[in-house]
Amino acid sequence: MSRYVVTGTNRGIGLEFVRQLLAQGHDVVATARDPGNVPALLEMQRANSQLTLLPLDLSDESSIHTFAGLAGATPVDVLINNAGIYGPRQASLGQLRTADWEQVMLVDLIAPMILTQALLPALRQGKDKRIAFLSSMMGSIADNSSGGSYLYRSAKAGLNQAVKSMAVDLAKEQFIVLPLHPGWVQTDMGGPNAMIDTHTSVTGLLQRIQTAGAAESGKFLNYDGKIIAW
């Protein structure tokens, strides 16, 4: 079995990652800003000694490095950068604010890259060498026909570019690096009218993460394996 690190596990897709990975028998390090106040995580930890809970605030670089020092003390086989934010829903053209944009860029683009960089020594010692980033089809420029969502779209488009560079840079070390679209999922962000539930999304995402080969590394993939245009 492998050792996974998953960010943003307090709810939704992140929490489902933890459930499914534990069911598969893996060791899981799950993060949240305050995991001690997430009843679902605490319940899973009581039932399964293979789950470790650690605090992580992606908006605080010192928290990132503290976490990496703890989680990276043992080899990490797979890192799943799941945590992200949408930003203020009212941030349309005419209502854009620098501070809002900076926060979304920090959490959705910059922090996952800094965290991955900090965990690279542990990932290099791992046997799987897989790094996944939850992006979004809203980061696809080719798919943008409706406009709006300036903060979220630009952060995810930037993430896609950064992940592509990472995939190229780490290819010689046999890393598999993937930007992934989870689908339109029934979460707090996706809303109740979304097309799929978290179980369906995470089942597909784990298939991509666990089975992708060198030919898929650096490609923008949907949860069902279809390639998404940049």
φ and ψ at residue 125, rounded to 5 degrees: -85, -15
pLDDT of residue 142: 97
Per the structure, how many domains does the chain have?
1
Six-digit token pair at 223? Answer: 């949860």
Distance CA 224, CA 203 (A): 9
Enter the DSSP assignment of 227: B
Domain assignment present for 230: no
Is 229 within a domain?
no
Cα angle at 63 between 104 and 205, to 5 degrees? Answer: 60
In a domain, 107, yes or no: yes
Kindly state whether residue 227 falls inside one of the protein's structural domains.
no
How deeply is 119 buried, as exposed, middle or buried, from its count of CB atoms within 10 A (0-12, 13-18, 19+)? buried
The first and second tokens of residue 47, run together, are 């039932």
Query: Strand pairing partners for 159?
Result: none
Does 228 reside within a domain? no
Q: How far is CA 40 from the centre of its chain?
A: 19
Give the pair of three-digit tokens for residue 129.
């060498």
Q: Give the CATH number, domain containing residue 176.
A: 3.40.50.720
Q: What is the pLDDT of residue 207?
A: 98
Encode the chain (230 residues) as per-residue pLDDT tens digits. 999 999 999 999 999 999 999 999 999 999 999 999 999 999 999 999 999 999 999 999 999 999 999 999 999 999 999 999 999 988 999 999 999 999 999 999 999 999 999 999 999 999 999 999 999 999 999 999 999 999 999 999 999 999 999 999 999 999 999 999 999 887 666 566 667 899 999 999 999 999 999 999 999 999 999 999 99
Q: Is 175 in contact with 161 (CB distance < 8 Å)?
A: no
Task: Give domain status of residue 181, yes or no.
Answer: yes
| In a domain? residue 137 | yes
Contact present, 92 and 38 (Cβ < 8 Å):
no
Burial degree of 177 (CB within 10 A; 0-12, 13-18, 19+): buried
Q: Is 216 helix (H, G, I), strand (E, B) or coil?
A: coil
Structural domain of residue 213, as residue ranges?
A: 3-222
Residue type present at position 202: V
Residue 184: per-residue pLDDT: 83
The verdict on residue 128 lying in a domain is: yes
